[in-house]
């Protein structure tokens, strides 16, 4: 059906565009090249996207949402068993697995490189990615504080602490050095991050156990 063909062409354009943007950067990518890589006409590209800016914004938005949606769902459904340390460990590993995906790292680098040209896109990346995760975390930490399982004076600040305890070291190494932690290094890092967070926020009676 026409709508199906249109959707497939739109996806083909986005798939081709992201490969070109990642390989050649924003300035080095033309709409002609996108059309050729997607095996569609230039007119078809412009039918779906008004210009290169709108195409760039759409592909970043699509990539970030694809990574962030399952993380938000995980955060909102997690931390509900009787073992808070185990729950936090599972959540932390999933966060790291998501942000260390090669495609997510590539898009992050691309957005940072184009931040001066597209400040609104950098802001949207932050809001759809780390900020969205931390908002969901803050809601769950509020629930845990209300039930007495955590001591949290400011859930937004505590969510940021947990997020960056887990992510800061590995994502900096991956972004700047191209180094991803080994499975053993990842496990050790997650365990240390969770232990540090619980040392600060577990109720006193739990810390004495």
Residues contacting 19, CB < 8 A, separation 6+ = 37
pTM for the whole thing?
A: 0.80
Region class of 25: left (phi > 0), else alpha (psi between -120 and 50), else beta:
left
pLDDT given at position 83: 87
- The low-confidence residues of the chain, meaning pLDDT below 70, are 1-3, 205-209
pLDDT given at position 205: 62
pLDDT given at position 12: 94
Query: Is the domain covering 1-49 a CATH 1.10.10.10 domain?
Result: no
Structure tokens at 10: 């739109």
Burial class from Cβ neighbours inside 10 Å (0-12, 13-18, 19+) for residue 178 reads exposed
pLDDT given at position 1: 38
Domain boundaries, the chain: 1-49, 53-207
**Rg of the chain (C-alpha set):** 20
Distance CA 135, CA 97 (A): 19
CATH code of the region 53-207: 1.10.357.10
Distance CA 87, CA 195 (A): 12
Q: What does residue 177 show for φ and ψ, rounded to 5 degrees? A: -115, -10
């Amino acid at each position: 059906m026409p709508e199906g063909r249109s959707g497939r062409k739109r996806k083909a354009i986005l798939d081709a565009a992201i490969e070109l943007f990642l390989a050649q950067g924003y300035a080095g990518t033309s709409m002609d090249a996108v059309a050729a890589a997607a095996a569609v006409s230039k007119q078809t590209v412009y039918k779906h996207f008004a210009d290169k800016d709108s195409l760039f914004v759409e592909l970043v938005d699509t990539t970030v949402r694809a990574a962030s949606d399952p993380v938000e769902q995980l955060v909102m459904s997690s931390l509900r068993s009787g073992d808070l340390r185990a729950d936090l460990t599972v959540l932390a590993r999933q966060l790291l697995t998501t942000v260390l995906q090669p495609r997510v790292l590539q898009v992050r680098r691309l957005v940072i490189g184009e931040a001066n040209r597209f400040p609104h896109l950098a802001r949207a990346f932050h809001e759809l990615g780390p900020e969205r995760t931390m908002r969901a975390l803050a809601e769950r930490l509020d629930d845990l504080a209300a039930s007495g399982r955590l001591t949290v004076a400011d859930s937004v600040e505590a969510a940021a602490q947990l997020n960056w305890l887990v992510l800061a070291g590995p994502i900096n190494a991956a972004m700047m050095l191209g180094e991803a932690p080994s499975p053993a290094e990842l496990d050790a890092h997650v365990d240390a991050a969770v232990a540090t967070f619980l040392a600060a926020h577990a109720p006193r009676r739990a810390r004495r156990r």
